[in-house]
Amino acid sequence: MDHLPIRLTETVKKGGCAAKLPAGQLRQVLQNLAIPKPEALAVGSETMDDACLWDLGDGRYMIQTLDFFTPIVDDARSFGAIAAANALSDVYAMGGEPKVALTILAFPTAHLPLELLEPLMEGALERITAAGACLGGGHSIDDETLKLGFSVTGFVKKEDAWTNAGAKVGDALILTKALGTGTLMSALKSKKATPEWIDAAIASMTQLNQVRDLLGSYRVHAATDITGFGLAGHCVQICRASQLKAQITTRSLPLLPGALECLEQNILNKAHHSNAAYVAENVVYHDIPIPLKWLTVDPQTSGGLLLCVPKESAEAVVQLLQKRFPMTARIGFLMAGDASIEFV
């Protein structure tokens, strides 16, 4: 890690995907906009998917996404790697492969040394290259707070694309990464986290969500990545788009080291509360301890993929995914019903 006399998390009020606008307010604004939808735009903002899909007319979709945020960790190289992995994840969540990334950078030259840019971008570039993509350029501005992200373009065969809207009754819900980055990063900011907890969280956040090559011929009906709106928020979006109901076994949820301890100490941030408000009308909890309730709305940064797969192949898929994502767990299933979640 870089040993600089600057804690990046102390330069911002909110870090990572916890800095997102509240999901409920964002959804309301988008609903009020008359957004034109050309025929070639197969998936836009209407289903709150992770990226848009543009029909290229040759049997492929172009996947387009962007993501940026403020520092979530103190180390510049790690922050760059997390920002890149998080942006690339949207392409993986649509079933595709990323090819080109463009940098989005706001840098406070009055507060931070420009030398910080080298490890920042080295961390990002390593993840982009590992994904088989290239850094094609970007744009930077001088701003009051550091922000880094990427616009990413990828491609997928039309028959292989994953969206929020494809889930089917009986599908198993499979989560590929452990939860808890929101509370852990809040603990880091307030100096209540151990180095071991933060190292484990960084390792998770910098891991690329490459899963398709592991799945062979197994089908995925729907998918999303779990980021700032938390597990409940992103699962609700699948339920709405697919017009189904989910049941999730809360004690089967994988946790990052230290996450439960932090939640038991009520180490929360604003996004925990806005996420809880967003899903309040769509979530029922059955005798769930309060810390685990907060876990379901914990704002993830570069979290795992939530996959909806046929129940008959669920165990095989979990075993395949665990080769690369050891915390992969089957956490629930989908059934007929309204767009809601039962946590049991």
- Residue written as token pair 């928020």: 233
pLDDT of residue 15: 61
Mean pLDDT over 306-335 rounds to 98
Cα 31 from Cα 266, distance rounded (Å): 34
Cβ neighbours for 221, distance < 8 A, ≥ 6 positions apart: 162, 166, 167, 168, 171, 308, 309, 310
Percentage with pLDDT > 70 across the chain: 94
pLDDT of residue 29: 72
pLDDT of residue 11: 75
φ and ψ at residue 92, rounded to 5 degrees: -60, -35
For 274-318, the pLDDT digits (tens) are 999 999 999 999 999 999 999 999 999 999 999 999 999 999 999
pLDDT of residue 23: 63
Which stretches within the chain are classed as H helix? Answer: 23-32, 76-93, 117-130, 181-189, 195-206, 212-215, 230-242, 259-264, 270-279, 290-296, 314-321
Of 195, 228, 199, 210, nearest to 302 (Cα)? 228
More confident residue, 47 or 203: 203
Catalytic, 17? Answer yes
3-state secondary structure 293-312: HHHHCCCCCCCCEEEEECHH
- Taking 50 as the threshold, does the pLDDT of residue 182 lie above it? yes
Catalytic residue chosen out of the listed positions 17, 235, 262, 308: 17
User: Mean pLDDT score of the chain, rounded to an integer?
Assistant: 93
pLDDT of residue 21: 61
Question: Angle at the Cα of 274 (from 273 to 278), degrees rounded to 5?
Answer: 120
The amino acid at 164: N
More confident residue, 30 or 143: 143
Of 43, 77, 84, nearest to 241 (Cα)? 43
- Taking 70 as the threshold, does the pLDDT of residue 16 lie above it? no
Query: What dotted CATH number matches 8-160?
Result: 3.30.1330.10
Mean pLDDT over 261-282 rounds to 96
pLDDT of residue 283: 97
Percentage with pLDDT > 90 across the chain: 87
Domain ranges in the chain? 8-160, 164-343
pLDDT of residue 228: 94
For 227-260, the pLDDT digits (tens) are 999 999 999 999 999 999 999 999 999 999 999 9
- Work out whether the CA dihedral 9, 202, 79, 2 comes out positive or negative: positive
Mean pLDDT over 37-52 rounds to 90
- Taking 90 as the threshold, does the pLDDT of residue 25 lie above it? no
Q: Which CATH number fits domain 164-343: 2.60.410.10, 3.40.50.970, 3.40.630.10, 3.90.650.10?
A: 3.90.650.10
- Taking 60 as the threshold, does the pLDDT of residue 76 lie above it? yes
Q: What is the pTM of this model?
A: 0.92
The two most distant CA atoms of the chain are separated, in Å, by 57
What are the distances in angstroms from CA 127 to CA 83, 84, 150, 215, 220?
9, 6, 12, 22, 25
